Structure 1
Amino acid sequence: MKQGMKTAAAAMLLALLGMNAPLAGATTVRVHYPAGKEGIRIVGDKGPMSWSKSVPAQAPDGPVNIWTYTWPDELGEVQMKPILGEGKVAVGGAYKLAAGSKVDIYPFFGAPFGKLTIVKDFASPQLKNSRALRIWLPPSYAENPAKRYPVLYMHDGQNLFDAKTAAYGVEWGIDETMNRLVAMGTVDEVIVVGIDNTPDRIPEYTPCCDPKYGGGKLDAYGAFIVETVKPYVDRNYRTLPGKDTTAIMGSSLGGIASVAIAQRYPDIFSKAGGVSSSFWWNKGALISTLPARVPVKFYLDAGTTDDGLEDTARMVEAMRAKGYRESTDLMFFKAEGGRHNEASWAARVEKPLTWFFPWGSSKQ
């Protein structure tokens, strides 16, 4: 009898849902998109909608482009995707909504290709020099003006997007990798800020002082990123500026720079990637003087061929001893056959990207 009453109540709610009326004890998706006359429809795995049958979302009430759709909590977790008009399905993965939640999503429907813009002669008061910033804007940036994005700051900007500017004629292919992962629904869209290096690359990326190479400008370089680059990016682009949506990553000396900067600024960065990091620097001082655990997720890797694997493994063990937990705030990847070059880094960069920014993890 009780089960029959529950079934009848659910049927009544579903009948109301056909009109998309606001319900008590209901789950709601709010689709932020300037759909105009085409409108927004919803497909999903439960309720009146299915993956082959769409239902209309409620049109915006006023000038704000927010389309809403509601269903009863009895359906449990629901996976859904918005459709523009009659057949343009949103790019990327499905959105998962827990029962009782109210979720805002910011889809896009156009080609999954981001755009690179270059800011020339960007001055650093901390280092008394200048360089270019290479800012990659994700696919939906121009299409969906309501959306804001996490930001990944990367060193050696010349090597990230274009083989013509890369130091050895091979790029990381960050743009192609991000385009592919976004289209597959594997990662959230992210703004990537490539910070070019300068003739002072070695001292800027290192703490003092290696017996052979010197170094020692890392504190000033970190301050440049935190006090000058990040405020500029947050001012001029639609970022999610909080710690939880801000990451830093680099390779080689840029790897130890990323780790050290995140350790110094754990209130700014929640994620740091050290790819083929030069933990040999200054006789392994970064390992032997490792500070107490900070609330940052660290990704570390190294290839098995002339890539400092032993030093990176030592750093990983030192971090575990400080309380970092595997797959929670520490990930270590040993790249079989990997070498100390851009081709190897390009081949595995999706690992930190996927761990840092999994699909559906960024909230605004």
Structure 2
Amino acid sequence: MNNNLLLIIFCIFFISCGQQSDKVNVNWKIKLNTPVNSDVYITGNQPFLGGWSPNKVKLEKVDDLHYQFSKELDPKQLIEYKFTLGDWKFQAADKNGKEWGNLEFESPLSDTTIHVEISNWTDGSTPKISGQITGDVEYFKDFKIEGLLNRDIIVWLPPSYKRNKRQKYPVLYMHDGQNTIDPKTSSFGVDWQVDETVTQLVEDNLLQEIIIVGVYCTDDRSDDYGDTKKGKLYRKAFATELKKLIDTNYRTVPEKENTIVAGSSMGGLVSFMLAWEYPEVYGGAICMSPAFKYEDFDYIDIIKNDPKKEVVFYIDNGGKGVDKILQPGVDKMISHLKSIGFTMDKNLFLVEDKTAKHSEGDWAKRFPNAIQLYFGKKDI
């Protein structure tokens, strides 16, 4: 093996010889190249991984260089994860100190051991941020939804908003608002760049001026964005209290044709759910890499007996990593929508990019075409 390689990740699968179980045991074996003077943590997209909290799930220390973690999982469970030293400033990194991307796998049908070698960590310095906020933004801090955690809201105002006091504007509402406009608040230092994108499209006379409302997620993101009790509270407040807040404080065009909701992954799912459940409020939804079907959850089965809604859906997906796992759900949703009367390229749009990953950077690349479907200039 090349001694210059500082990152080795490989999986060894052990097929059980005994009676089959509905669960599989997944064991992480972690080896460090250099001892550390702190605990080591695993974090990821599932509640048992701390829901992306960097210091909730501590690894068991075997000795100075070896750690382990075990969990019993359902087969075909979608897992994304990282390792930290208890703070996002100190993440597992490559030999140059650059943080890893998300590690990912789908839990198999048999017991599995995952071996990970960590050779380096980020140094604790402030990570380099690419980009900045373009234009004017305002904030609502600690917006309260009864029964849920408070969250911040960022509102991006179009170029003419402050100088043209009579003009009213359509509104795009976005989930995971911390990742949409400001790279400093984005989870991984890369935002969707919707501010730069919309500004450029407006300057090129390809897009109407719009207001963008980014609603931050919380530690309860999975519940808020899912078909859960908290999710129902979130969607109701999003369609009523939040919309009233924005329509009251800003010069909006409030009708449904000028009100669109957007998000990615679980945010893509909840965007669809909002348009489906509140078609009188939203004219459509942008659903990027949507989690329509994953593990034991299948939203298509939940809505299969519902009538067609008068909304326009944009749905897309990449072809690598997590997006590859989500593709069967996208296929099933498209098939269902067509079966109840949606027409491709009229009120249902599908984009597939087999080279794209499940990431803010890839969603940002697809965003320009998506937003122009709803707010593109009609007279060009």
TM-score normalised to structure 1 length: 0.64
Q: What is the CA deviation profile of residues 286-332 of structure 1, one whole-angstrom value per residue up to 9, with x for unaligned ones?
A: 11233221000001000011202232122111111111011111000
Q: Say how many residue pairs are matched.
A: 241
Encode CA deviations 1:174-205: one digit per residue, 9 max, x unaligned.
10000011111111111010000011111000
Question: Is the partner of 1:168 in helix, strand or coil?
Answer: coil
Contact 2:149 2:220 in 1 (8 A): no
The amino acid across from 2:316 in the alignment is D
Between the aligned partners of 1:140 and 1:268, the Cα distance in structure 2 is: 25
CA distance in 1: counterparts of 2:233 and 2:258, whole angstroms: 23
Corresponding letter in the other structure for 1:226: A
Instruction: Indicate which of 110, 133, 139 corresponds to 1:118.
Output: 139
Code of the aligned partner of 1:120: K
Q: State the distance in 2 between where 1:295 and 1:328 align.
A: 12
Alignment of 1:49-88 (within 5 A): none
Q: Where in structure 2 are the equivalents of 1:97-112 lying within 5 Å?
A: none
CA contact (8 A) 1:134 1:193 kept: yes
Q: 8 Å contact 2:269–2:287 — kept in the other structure?
A: yes
> In 2, distance between residues paired with 1:280 and 1:222?
19
Give 1:352 shift: 1.3
Moved over 4 A (4+): none
Give the AA of the match of 2:142.
D
Structure 1 residue aligned with 2:351, among 328, 333, 344? Answer: 333
> Is 2:221 aligned against 1:201?
yes
d(CA) in 1 for partners of 2:206 and 2:284? 18
- What are the Cα deviations for residues 198-248 of structure 1, in whole angstroms up to 9, with x where unaligned? 11111000004xxxxxxx422110111122111010000000011111111
1:136-188 per-position Cα deviation (integer Å, ceiling 9, x unaligned): 00111012111000011100010001111111111000100000111111111
Q: Which residue of 2 aligns with 1:233?
A: 246
Which sections of structure 1, spanning at least 5 residues, go unmatched?
A: 1-112, 209-215
Could you report, residue by residue, the CA deviation over 1:108-147 in whole angstroms, capped at 9, with x for unpaired residues?
xxxxx6311121111112x343111100001110121110
Counterpart CA distance in 2 for 1:203 and 1:347 is 28
**1:129 match: secondary structure:** coil
**Superposed counterparts of 1:268-307, under 5 Å:** 268-281=281-294, 283-290=296-303, 291-306=306-321, 307=323
Instruction: Structure 2: state its 5+ residue gaps.
Output: 1-133
Q: Deviations over 1:247-267 (max 9, x none)?
A: 111000011101011111000
Alpha-carbon separation, structure 2, partners of 1:238 and 1:150: 9
**Is 1:182 the equivalent of 2:202?**
yes
Find the residue that maps to 1:289 and give its secondary structure. helix
SS in 2 for 1:349: helix
Q: Name the CA distance, whole Å, in 1 between partners of 2:377 and 2:292.
A: 31
1:146 maps to what in 2? 166
- Name the counterpart of 1:356: 374
Could you say which residue in structure 1 is the equivalent of 2:336? 318
8 Å contact kept, 2:292–2:330: yes
In the alignment, the residues of structure 1 paired with residue 224 and residue 239 of structure 2 have an alpha-carbon distance, to the nearest angstrom, of 14
CA contact (8 A) 1:277 1:302 kept: yes
Displacement of 1:360 after TM fit? 4.3
Structure 2 residue aligned with 1:191: 211
Q: Which residue of 2 aligns with 1:48?
A: none
Give the corresponding residue for 2:271: 258
SS at match of 1:181: helix
1:244 paired to 2:286: no
Alignment match of 1:345 (pick from 349, 360, 363): 363
Equivalent residue for 1:158, pick from 140, 154, 178: 178
Q: Secondary structure at the match of 2:141?
A: strand
Which amino acid counterpart does residue 177 of structure 1 have in structure 2? T
Identity of aligned residues (%): 34
Counterpart AA for 2:207: V
- Whichever residue aligns with residue 167 of structure 1, its letter is S
Any conservation in 2 of the 1:188–1:360 contact (CA below 8 Å)? no
Distance 2:206 2:331 in 1: 28
Q: Does the aligned pair in 1 maintain the 2:293–2:328 contact within 8 Å?
A: no
Displacement, 1:283? 3.1
Provide TM-score, normalisation by structure 2.
0.61
Give distance in 1, aligned partners of 2:236 and 2:244.
11
Q: SS state of the match for residue 173, structure 2?
A: strand
Letter of the 2:377 counterpart: W
Partner Cα separation in structure 1 for residue 163 and residue 294 of structure 2: 45
SS at match of 2:298: helix
